[in-house]
Amino acid sequence: MTVLVAYATHSGATRTLAETLVETLREEGLSPVLADIAEDPDPGDHEAAIIGSAVRVESFEKSFVSWVDRHRAQIDELPLALFSCSGSAADPARGGRQKATDTFLERTGLDPVAVKNLPGWVLMDRIPVHEQLLLKSMRTPTGDFRDLTAVAAWAREIAPLLPR
């Protein structure tokens, strides 16, 4: 039985989180398959899915939203976990909440067995100039906020919720 771990990334941080999920799920005895949403993986080929998107300007990646819409019938048949990746997830004032995640779940009506908003990075050299200007005007903190130990812990937490 395989678990699809599919992600949409902009600057690469979401991929690193997905890779950590795959590595940890393997250690937990599952058979995860890593896939970039850009390659249009077929969720129907798997028994469960963990899907994640980078968050840019309070929205999930458009490619991610389109992929979910296209594969919605198949996704609805699977145990599903959802994660987001953003620099803002590192902000303790947010209490682990992410507007983009809440909006996405509200719009789609998806009912994942687990949801996690994970810190990513805000690295100006990986962001388009127009977004850099916006982030600077908002005084967005920059840096690498990923906590791969926390990502691995979440993978261990959700592993029992997924088929083996």
Torsional sign, CA 88, 120, 116, 56: positive
Q: What are phi and psi of 105, to 5 degrees?
A: -65, -40
Average pLDDT estimate for 12-35? 98
Closest to 55 (Cα-Cα) out of 18, 86, 22: 86
Average pLDDT, the chain: 90
**pTM listed for this prediction:** 0.89
Rounded Cα gap, residues 43 and 73, in angstroms:
10
The pLDDT tens digits for 82-103 are: 999 987 665 665 555 678 899 9
Whether pLDDT at 10 is above 90: no
Q: pLDDT tens across 103-124, in order?
A: 999 999 999 999 999 988 876 6
| Nearest of 133, 125, 136, 116 to residue 55 by alpha carbon | 116
117: which 2 tokens?
A: 């908003």
**Residue 155 pLDDT:** 98
2-161 CATH: 3.40.50.360
Domain boundaries, the chain: 2-161
Please enumerate, as own/partner, the contacts of 139-142 that have beta carbons within 8 Å and a separation of 24 or more. Answer: 140/87, 140/88, 141/87, 141/90, 142/87
121-122 vs 143-144, strand pairing mode = antiparallel
